[in-house]
């Protein structure tokens, strides 16, 4: 029997659920679902095996072949038909997306981080800017990092602005939230047992050791501090080394933007691991 769609023509309870998935962090986690839109995000979610609760579309719109095929082939619990005005209101794009989706969250399980060879992992402490978190996920995807750990209370990785800032990379990079330091220590010990000597590198503007002096071919976790306060004291105790990224002498800037700094650190790690001086 063909699946029946849920039809929504007014701002009823079903529509209000879609709104809170977009705007309310607590409700997102209560439902364990989040809202996405756009061709790239939906394609990447499908490609990487994320589970869909619903695809959302307006039967009043002229759907592309891509949208029709997605509706036909992607497995969902049920799909949702919105009126054109409600679809436009729910969309965050100037030109209303032809498809949006409700996607199921994934559990915070460190087993999601699959190390491909020698561990190269990021930890972001209390991220406070949605764009920075999204950009860092995009960087980690681009440079082949194994995954991201998020500690402390910060912006929600499932926020639509974060997902949008990743340009689809959100669905490729495994990330887990680890709120307890005991659990973080246990994970580091697990990595050490499996891969040997693990270095946990923190960044600071005052370290004597520069990034260029660090040996990054070993199993490595880069700790990225909160944009405003840097690494918490509780996390500094896990660091086996502190490094700084050299800056031009006499420059007015006192530090890099956290997303830029992450790109520099991971690029240097990839360069070293490539085995050639210029990284090619």
96 shares its domain with 166: no
Which of 71, 104, 137 is where one domain is finished? 104
φ/ψ bin of 178: left (φ > 0), alpha (ψ from -120 to 50), beta (otherwise) = beta
pLDDT for 94 beyond 90: no
How does the average pLDDT of the chain come out, rounded? 93
In whole angstroms, how large is the CA radius of gyration of the chain? 21
Domain identity same for 150 and 251: yes
- DSSP secondary structure letter of residue 4: P
Looking at the chain, the whole-number percentage of residues with pLDDT higher than 70 is: 97
Per the DSSP assignment, residues forming a β-bridge with 223 are 123, 202
Task: Tell me the CA distances in angstroms from 251 to 34, 103, 141, 191, 247, one per residue in order.
Answer: 42, 45, 30, 39, 7
Contact 179, 152 (CB under 8 A): yes
94 and 131 share a domain? no
Give the predicted TM-score (pTM) of the model: 0.92
pLDDT in tens, 107-159: 999 999 999 889 999 999 999 999 999 999 999 999 999 999 999 999 999 99
State yes or no: pLDDT of 279 exceeds 60: no
Last residue of a domain, one of 57, 87, 104: 104
Question: Do 123 and 237 share a domain, yes or no?
Answer: yes
Same domain, 157 and 186: yes
As a whole number of angstroms, the distance between CA 264 and CA 266 comes to 6
Residues 95, 126 within the same domain: no
Distances (CA, A) of 274 to 120, 216, 245, 270: 13, 11, 20, 6
76, 52 Cβ separation under 8 angstroms:
yes
Angle at 222 between CA 220 and CA 224, to 5 degrees: 170
Same domain, 50 and 82: yes
Residue 140 domain-assigned (yes or no): yes
Helix (H, G, I), strand (E, B) or coil at 96: coil
Q: Are residues 88 and 152 in the same domain?
A: no
Could you give the number of structural domains in the chain? Answer: 2
Report the distance separating Cα 163 and Cα 174, nearest Å: 13
Domain-embedded: residue 50: yes
> Do residue 201 and residue 96 come from a single domain?
no
Domain boundary among 104, 130, 162: 104
Question: E strands within the chain?
Answer: 6-8, 33-37, 52-57, 80-82, 100-104, 120-125, 147-151, 175-177, 199-203, 220-224, 241-243
Q: How confident is the model at residue 277 (pLDDT cuts 50, 70, 90)?
A: low
| pLDDT band with cut points at 50, 70 and 90 for residue 247 | confident
List the domain range (segments joined by +) for residue 96: 6-104
The DSSP annotation for 228-242 comes to TTBS-HHHHTT-SEE
Q: pLDDT digits over 156-169, tens only?
A: 999 999 999 999 99
Neighbours of 56 (CB within 10 A): 26
């Amino acid at each position: 029997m063909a699946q029946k769609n849920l039809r929504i023509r007014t701002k009823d309870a079903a529509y209000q659920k879609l709104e809170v998935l977009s705007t309310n962090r607590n409700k997102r986690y209560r439902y364990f679902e989040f809202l996405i839109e756009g061709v790239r995000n939906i394609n990447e979610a499908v490609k990487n095996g994320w589970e869909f609760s619903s695809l959302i579309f307006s039967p009043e719109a002229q759907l592309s072949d891509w949208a029709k095929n997605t509706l036909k082939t992607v497995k969902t619990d049920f799909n949702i038909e919105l009126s054109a005005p409600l679809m436009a209101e729910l969309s965050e794009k100037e030109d209303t997306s032809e498809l949006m989706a409700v996607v199921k969250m994934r559990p915070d399980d460190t087993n999601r981080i699959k190390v491909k060879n020698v561990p190269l992992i990021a930890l972001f402490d209390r991220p406070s800017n949605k764009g920075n978190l999204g950009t860092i996920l995009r960087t980690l995807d681009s440079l082949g990092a194994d995954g991201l750990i998020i500690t402390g209370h910060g912006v929600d990785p499932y926020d639509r602005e974060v997902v949008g800032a990743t340009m689809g990379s959100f669905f490729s990079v495994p990330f887990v939230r680890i709120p307890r330091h005991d659990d973080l220590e246990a994970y580091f010990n697990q990595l050490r047992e499996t891969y040997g000597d693990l270095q946990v590198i923190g960044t600071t503007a005052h370290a004597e050791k520069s990034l260029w002096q660090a040996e990054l071919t070993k199993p490595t976790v880069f700790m990225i501090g909160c944009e405003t306060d840097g690494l918490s004291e509780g996390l500094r105790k896990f660091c086996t080394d502190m490094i700084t990224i050299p800056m031009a002498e006499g420059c007015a800037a006192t530090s890099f933007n956290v997303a830029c700094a992450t790109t520099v650190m991971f690029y240097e790690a990839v360069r070293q691991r490539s085995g050639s001086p210029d990284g090619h």
